[in-house]
Amino acid sequence: MLLGAAADPNSERGVSCEGQLPAASDESLVERAIAAKKALGSKAMVLGHHYQRDEVIAFADIRGDSFKLAQAAAENKQAEFIFFCGVHFMAESADILTTDNQKVILPDLAAGCSMADMATASQVEDCWQVLNKISVAGKTIPITYMNSSAAIKAFTGKNNGAVCTSSNAARAMKWAFEKGEKVLFLPDQHLGRNTAVLSLGLKLSDCVLYNPWKPNGGLTDDQIKNAKVILWRGHCSVHGRFSLENIKQVRERIAGVKVLVHPECQHDVVSNADVVGSTEMIIKTVKESAAGSKWAVGTELNLVQRLAIENPDKQVVFLDKTLCYCSTMNRIDLPHLVWAMESLVGGQLVNQIKVKPEVAKYAKVALDQMLALP
Ligand code: 13P
Ligand code: SF4
Q: Measure the CA–CA gap between 159 and 125, rounded to whole angstroms.
A: 11
Q: Measure the CA–CA gap between 212 and 335, rounded to whole angstroms.
A: 38
Instruction: Point out the ligand 2 atom lying closest to the alpha carbon of residue 113.
Output: 1
- Residue with CA closest to ligand 1 atom 6: 279
Q: Measure the CA–CA gap between 85 and 70, rounded to whole angstroms.
A: 12
Is the CB of 65 within 6 Å of ligand 2?
Answer: no
Is the CB of 93 within 6 Å of ligand 1?
Answer: no
Residue 189 alpha carbon to ligand 2 centre in Å: 14
pTM of the model: 0.92
Is the CB of 117 within 6 Å of ligand 2?
Answer: no
Look up the CATH superfamily of 2-112+328-356: NadA-like (3.40.50.10800)
Residue 144 alpha carbon to ligand 2 centre in Å: 15
Kindly report the average pLDDT of the chain as a whole number: 94
Residue 65 alpha carbon to ligand 1 centre in Å: 6
Pairing outcome for strands 62-64 and 81-85: unpaired
pLDDT tens string 284-303: 999 999 999 999 999 999 99
Which ligand is in closest contact with the Cα of 65?
1
With cut-offs at 50, 70 and 90, classify the pLDDT of residue 66.
confident
pLDDT tens string 20-65: 899 988 899 999 999 999 999 999 999 999 999 999 999 999 999 9
Is the CB of 237 within 6 Å of ligand 2?
Answer: yes
Which ligand is in closest contact with the Cα of 237?
2
pLDDT tens string 111-146: 999 999 999 999 999 999 999 999 999 999 999 999
pLDDT tens string 87-103: 999 999 999 999 999 99
Residues 325/301, Cβ–Cβ less than 8 Å:
yes
Residues 325/302, Cβ–Cβ less than 8 Å:
yes
Q: Which amino acid is at 373?
A: L
**DSSP-assigned letters across all residues of 91-136:** HHHHHHHS-TT-EEE-S-TT---TTGGGS-HHHHHHHHHHHHHTT-
- Residue with CA closest to ligand 2 atom 3: 326
Pick the closest to residue 218 from 189, 238, 191, 177 (CA basis): 189
Element (H, E) at 189: helix 189-194
Is the CB of 191 within 6 Å of ligand 2?
Answer: no
Residue 47 alpha carbon to ligand 1 centre in Å: 14
DSSP type of residue 2? -
Maximum Cα interatomic distance, the chain, rounded to a whole number of Å: 63
> Given this chain, do its domains 2-112+328-356 and 116-236 carry the same CATH topology?
yes
The CATH number for 116-236, chosen from 3.40.228.10, 3.30.70.250, 3.10.50.40, 3.40.50.10800, is 3.40.50.10800
CA atoms within 13 A on the CB side of 179: 19
Which ligand is in closest contact with the Cα of 276?
1
Look up the CATH superfamily of 239-318: NadA-like (3.40.50.10800)
Instruction: Point out the ligand 1 atom lying closest to the alpha carbon of residue 69.
Output: 2
Q: Measure the CA–CA gap between 349 and 341, rounded to whole angstroms.
A: 9
Of all residues in the chain, what percent are helix, strand and coil, respectively (each to 5)? 45, 15, 40
Domain boundaries, the chain: 2-112+328-356, 116-236, 239-318
Q: Which amino acid is at 361?
A: K
pLDDT tens string 176-197: 999 999 999 999 999 999 999 9
Helix residue ranges, H only, 257-329:
267-271, 279-288, 301-310
